Structure 1
Amino acid sequence: MAKPQYQRKMKSLTDQVYDKVRTDIISLELLPGDRIVELDIAETMGTSQAPVREALQRLEREGLVNRQARSATYVTKTSIDEIYELFSIRSQIEGYAIKRTVRHITPTQIMELEALVEQMKAAGELDNMVLLTEYDMLFHRNICQWADSVALLRSWDPLFSQIQRFVVNTHKDYFDELTDIADTHLPIIAALRAGDEEEAARVVREHVMLIWTRIEQKK
């Protein structure tokens, strides 16, 4: 199964280091509070420390690592209250984005979203939560990107990594089957196809906050 591609280009050393460390954090190979040593990563990946440093700076901007004095870097710890705030912010951003996107979405773009849902299902059947969330996040990023607002996308992108880490490590506990996660995206597609701005915004906000409804129900 092909991994989703946000940009099709040859990856730099910095990008390769970024992808490796980010995946280790998202999948909990690196746990919150773990120390990341630049020299160790450089030796493992056969590169100098410069690309490692650049990759860690990028991960810091995404909220996945915290760089302290004398180059000490640690995987961030994020409280449940902070994550809830991120989801609340995300729901408002995506609600606004989809109202813009629904005005001019094309049949081809609808088909792209449907294909991503099928790819989510396939990843779920393989029990590959990291890959499933890559397709999931791409689904939502497409809606934001198609809104044709640079400011909107700049607001959404920094939330991506922290939200994905949370989703990867919690959603298995709140869905009977991983493929069910894919199905929760179908009402969004239906609302886009119907062309109703307010309904589309309501549906996507409800979708984004669904996990919190399930968490409350399990208490």
Structure 2
Amino acid sequence: MSKKFELRLESHDLDTLHLKVCRVLREAILRGHFEPGERLVQEELASSLGVSRMPIREALRKLETEGLVVIEPHRGAIVKSLSLVDIEEIYGLRAQFEKMAVELSVEHMQPGDIEDLERLVELMEEATDPGVFVERNIEFHRLMISRCSWKRLVAFIETLWNGFPQQTPHMLSGQTEKSNKEHRNILQAIKQRDAGKAGKLVYDHISRTGNNLVASLKETME
């Protein structure tokens, strides 16, 4: 394992342990602390973080679904190559595809869907734990496209979600506050049944996040 940085879990992070381990490893991978092709040894990670192998194993499985590692027989978890161009491509495609899916979904949303979206916005605004915010954010984005009848489009979006995680609050300063304002504006457009405005706001929201993430990672790599 690379010796250029130190993996750390704060004491208050010990609840939902595998999610916290996943967050630490994800950020280390995205910031280039682990090289593409590098093997992540469970025993070494467990020792560095002061946890058992179980949360490490669960975290690595989650990272595999996100496309950041591949688990190979007899070798374990291997860091996959993911460049800034990959991130730009994924966020660019997400912005376009989710815009389309939201536009197609809005007119078919039921009152209960909108109530659930409002509840998720409120939960994100109240969240003090980035992990809680992330989980509600995923639910919010999933619900926004849940009434889209173009199943191939939804499948493309889900593939992009697996290709790169929607988990940036801990990596971008002020991300939670900006996202909360944007989510509130998107919700208002959906309430007004303005599919075009809702789609544009979703496009701008995802594009801004992607651009900010790329800029942040570039600074780290310089």
TM-score of the superposed pair, with normalisation by structure 1? 0.68
Superposed CA RMSD: 3.5
> Which stretch of the first structure deviates more once superposed, 83-92 or 68-77?
68-77
Measure, in 1, the Cα distance between the counterparts of 2:199 and 2:88.
19
Deviations 1:143-163 (A, max 9, x none): 122214432332222333523
Q: Which amino acid aligns with 1:141?
A: R
Q: Which amino acid aligns with 1:163?
A: P
Q: Structure 1 residue 164: deviation in Å? A: 2.2
List runs of 5+ in structure 1 lacking aligned partners.
1-18, 47-51
Q: Which residue of 2 aligns with 1:44?
A: 53
Measure, in 2, the Cα distance between the counterparts of 1:212 and 1:39.
34
Paired residues in the alignment total 187
SS in 2 for 1:170: coil
Measure, in 2, the Cα distance between the counterparts of 1:191 and 1:76.
38
Q: Structure 1 residue 22: deviation in Å? A: 6.0
Q: Which residue of 2 aligns with 1:139?
A: 140
Please tell me whether residue 105 in structure 1 is matched to residue 102 in structure 2.
no
Q: Which residue of 1 aligns with 2:22?
A: 25
Measure, in 2, the Cα distance between the counterparts of 1:217 and 1:79.
13
Q: Which amino acid aligns with 1:94?
A: E
TM-score of the superposed pair, with normalisation by structure 2? 0.67
SS in 2 for 1:145: coil
Relative to structure 1, is the Cα distance of residues 203 and 131 closer, same or farther in structure 2, using a 3 angstrom cutoff?
A: same
Correspondence list, 1:156-175, <5 A:
156-160=157-161, 162-165=164-167, 167-171=168-172, 173-175=173-175
List runs of 5+ in structure 2 lacking aligned partners.
1-15, 47-51
Q: Structure 1 residue 98: deviation in Å? A: 0.8
Percent identical = 24
Correspondence list, 1:79-90, <5 A:
79-90=83-94
Relative to structure 1, is the Cα distance of residues 78 and 25 closer, same or farther in structure 2, using a 3 angstrom cutoff?
A: farther
Q: Structure 1 residue 138: deviation in Å? A: 1.2
